[in-house]
Structure formats: structure tokens, C-alpha cells
């Protein structure tokens, strides 16, 4: 069953019952909305969307049920993904506190994964500068028809590392249009940046073939 294409069996609730914003993430990878039960999940959905190894993913599309003695449990892994090499993964967000309940749930998931042939991937929620940079370029993830000549000119301008504003000026593409194109090229991984530093007009960027 293509779990990575399914919607949650019921409406999600805020992450671990805490106050959260229920939202959907429009995925550039799939061209569909991915259900996220919290802002934390939205941040991870951004990373999954940016990950070239992921071909499809869905939020909470499966619910696990098991019993321990007389106690019945149920849990939904945060995401199910399908990778480019056709492997299915259950993606789980690492909580801020690793309590016994979480370890029990993870053990149950790993047992199911072993029988189903899934991988289990633990992900921390992106934060700080990397998250801010990722959210910035993610605003340019929508498919837009870009002038091929502009794109090639910009890529040529960044064959060596140089600040964004300098490369755009050298390309001859107007500033506003140039920055739009550059952010889209970063999202598509055609241009590289230092993800540990704030993405500013003065930040250096370079092509995949350029030297850092």
C-alpha cells in the first residue's frame, strides 16, 4: 500500500497534545498538500521537501495499534516517506524529552518496520539559522516558468563563490527578478550556500561545480 500517498485516517491533533497550529504544507516534491499536526512537523516537512533523496511523503498516514498486557496503545509516526531508491521510511521527530512512553512507541514502530521492510529515521526539528534559511528559500519552491537565458546567466555568474548581490549584478538580470531566480536555484540545489550562516544579499553562493 502506498502509505506515502495517503491522508491521515482522522484529523490530526496538536503535537503530543500541546498547543500547536494545525496546518498543511504544500510539497514541491509531490505537488500536493501534506498534513502537519504542529509547527514542529511543518519544519521537518520543509526539510523532507528539500531532501533530494525523498520522492514522496505524507503526514501521519498510518496508525499503529498494539497491546501490552491489558493496556492498549496507538500511535501515528509523524511521516511516511518513499525514497528515490524505492525504500519506505517511517520518519519520527525526536521529542525534547525522551521519556519511557516515547521509547515504547519507538520499539513498537521498529518491530513493525522490521516486518514490513521499512526503515525508521529519527529527525531532529531544524532550528536557528538553518531553519530560517530553509524557510526563506522554501517560499520559492512553487513551480514557476523561469527564463532559461536568465537562469544560465546566473549560474555562470556563480561559477566561483561570490555574494548574491554581486553575482546578480554581474549577470545583468534585474535585481528583483535576479533574487527570485537565485532563491529558486538554491531551493533546487543548483546553487549552494553556507547553511550555518544567515542568508543575506551579501552571502556567498556558488554552483555545484564551483569551488567553495
What pLDDT digit, counting tens, does each position of 121-141 carry?
999 999 999 999 999 999 999
Q: What percent of the chain has pLDDT over 70?
A: 93
pTM of the model: 0.88
Q: How far apart are CA 81 and CA 36, in angstroms?
A: 14
Number of H helices, E strands in the chain: 6, 11
User: What is the pLDDT, as a whole number, of residue 74?
Assistant: 92
**Phi/psi-derived region of residue 73, left when phi > 0, alpha when psi is between -120 and 50, beta in every other case:** beta
The residues of the chain that CATH labels 1.10.10 are 128-207
In this prediction, residues 184-191 reach a mean pLDDT of 95
Dihedral (Cα; 17, 21, 22, 23), 10-degree rounding:
-150
Decide: 29 and 55 in contact? Cβ < 8 Å.
Answer: yes
Decide if pLDDT at 212 tops 80. no
Please give the order of strands across the beta sheet that includes 191-192: 162-163, 204-207, 191-192
Decide: 37 and 13 in contact? Cβ < 8 Å.
Answer: yes
Architecture of the CATH domain 128-207: Orthogonal Bundle (1.10)
Mean pLDDT, the chain, as a whole number?
Answer: 90
pLDDT band of residue 153 (cuts 50, 70, 90) is very high
Q: Which CATH class is domain 3-123?
A: alpha beta
Please give the angle made by the CA atoms of 11, 13 and 17, to the nearest 5 degrees. 160
Joined together, the cell numbers standing for residue 88 give: 519506505
- DSSP secondary structure letter of residue 15: G
The residues of the chain that CATH labels 3.40.1350.10 are 3-123
Decide if pLDDT at 112 tops 90. yes
User: What is the pLDDT, as a whole number, of residue 146?
Assistant: 75
User: What is the pLDDT, as a whole number, of residue 209?
Assistant: 67
User: What is the pLDDT, as a whole number, of residue 80?
Assistant: 96
Q: How far apart are CA 147 and CA 211, in angstroms?
A: 26
pLDDT, tens only, 60-78: 999 999 988 888 999 999 9
Decide if pLDDT at 169 tops 80. yes
Show Cβ contacts of residue 191 under 8 Å, excluding neighbours closer than 6 positions. 155, 158, 182, 185, 205, 206, 207
Q: How far apart are CA 29 and CA 51, in angstroms?
A: 9
pLDDT, tens only, 12-54: 665 555 555 567 899 999 899 999 888 899 999 999 999 999 9
Amino acid at each position: 500500500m502506498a502509505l506515502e500517498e495517503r491522508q491521515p485516517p482522522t484529523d490530526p491533533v496538536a503535537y503530543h497534545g500541546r498547543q500547536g497550529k494545525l496546518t498543511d504544507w504544500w510539497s514541491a516534491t509531490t505537488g500536493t498538500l501534506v498534513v502537519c499536526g504542529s509547527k514542529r512537523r511543518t519544519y521537518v516537512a520543509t526539510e523532507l521537501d528539500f531532501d533530494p533523496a525523498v520522492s514522496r511523503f505524507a503526514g501521519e498516514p498510518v496508525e499503529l495499534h498494539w497491546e501490552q498486557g491489558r493496556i492498549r496503545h496507538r500511535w501515528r509516526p509523524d511521516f511516511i516517506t518513499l525514497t528515490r531508491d524505492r525504500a519506505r521510511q517511517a520518519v519520527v521527530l525526536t521529542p525534547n524529552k525522551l521519556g519511557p512512553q516515547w521509547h515504547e512507541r519507538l520499539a513498537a514502530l521498529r518491530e513493525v518496520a522490521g516486518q514490513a521492510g521499512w526503515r525508521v529515521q529519527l529527525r531532529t526539528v531544524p532550528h536557528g539559522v538553518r531553519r530560517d534559511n530553509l524557510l526563506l528559500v522554501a517560499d520559492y519552491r512553487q513551480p514557476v516558468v523561469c527564463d532559461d537565458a536568465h537562469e544560465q546567466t546566473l549560474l555562470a555568474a556563480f561559477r566561483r563563490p561570490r555574494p548574491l548581490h554581486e553575482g546578480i549584478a554581474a549577470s545583468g538580470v534585474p535585481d528583483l527578478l535576479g533574487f527570485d531566480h537565485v532563491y529558486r536555484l538554491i531551493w533546487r540545489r543548483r546553487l549552494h550556500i553556507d547553511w550555518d550562516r544567515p542568508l543575506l544579499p551579501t552571502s556567498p553562493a556558488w554552483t555545484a561545480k564551483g569551488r567553495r
